[in-house]
Amino acid sequence: MYPANPEARASGFVFLSTTMKKIVLMIDGGFLRVAARKAGRHYDPGFIESFSKNCPSSDEELFRVLYYDCPPYQGQQKLPVSGLTKTFDESGQWLQVLAQKDLIAVRLGVLKFRGFKLKKVPVAGSDALTDADFSPDFEQKGVDMRIGLDIAAYSALKHVDRIGLVTADTDCVPAMKLARKSGAQVVLFALPGSAVPSELSQHADMVRSVVWPH
């Protein structure tokens, strides 16, 4: 059986398999969300579920989907020009809906507010700046750590044959090395229109392109 990714076939390697391979899929939600919205896709639990089903190849059984993200920031901050108070109260209920879907587990980090940043740099024109020229700057905390810990745990417990990664975070490299040393195969998924960091592809057994769900 030939692998699903054309890169492996072009390399001359042929992977023969007589049994289904169990794969756990680990999705960096921030990375997937940005790419999906850039492609004009509506990002919700249904999209994430459909995307996950597109990832396994014909010789793989989806063992579980681990989805990593942060609930929306909630709190009050002063706007940078007017000094007025802005309330952030977006609901994160959709993450609870996602967690209730079959085979999907949600791992949550924390979204930290880091201030406001200019939308465009350098600033064009001589008009005075307004609050509308700034956007809130948030930073995810704890997501990459949770991905790394789960890669290590699944590698040690040997519940799966393959670990599938949807991410561009190079902080995953040490965990990817550990997974391969433990005997698991690492599959890195390339999203439509997104480049795969070479630091990640060098430590993956396969790089596989995946299409957006219809």
pLDDT-derived band at 2, boundaries 50, 70, 90: very low
Q: What is the pLDDT of residues 133-170, one digit of tens each?
A: 899 988 888 899 999 999 999 999 999 999 999 999 99
Token output for 123:
């600033």
Closest CA relative to residue 203, chosen from 146, 149, 151, 129: 151
8 Å CB contact between 193 and 36: no
Q: Where are the domains of the chain?
A: 6-75+89-109+140-209
Closest CA relative to residue 26, chosen from 67, 56, 69, 60: 67
For residue 13, the model assigns a pLDDT of 57
What CATH topology corresponds to 6-75+89-109+140-209? Rossmann fold (3.40.50)
Query: Which residues make beta-bridge pairs with 68?
Result: 28, 107
Average pLDDT over every residue of 183-189: 97
Q: What is the pLDDT of residues 106-141, one digit of tens each?
A: 999 888 888 899 988 777 665 788 999 899 988 888
Sheet bearing 162-166, strands edge to edge:
104-108, 60-69, 21-28, 162-166, 185-190, 206-209
Q: What is the pLDDT of residues 13-35, one digit of tens each?
A: 555 556 899 999 999 999 999 99
8 Å CB contact between 62 and 199: no
For residue 74, the model assigns a pLDDT of 86
Q: What's the chain's average pLDDT?
A: 89
For residue 188, the model assigns a pLDDT of 97
Token output for 162:
């393959």
8 Å CB contact between 103 and 62: yes
Q: What is the pLDDT of residues 41-52, one digit of tens each?
A: 999 999 999 999
Per DSSP, 39 falls in state T
pTM over 0.85: no
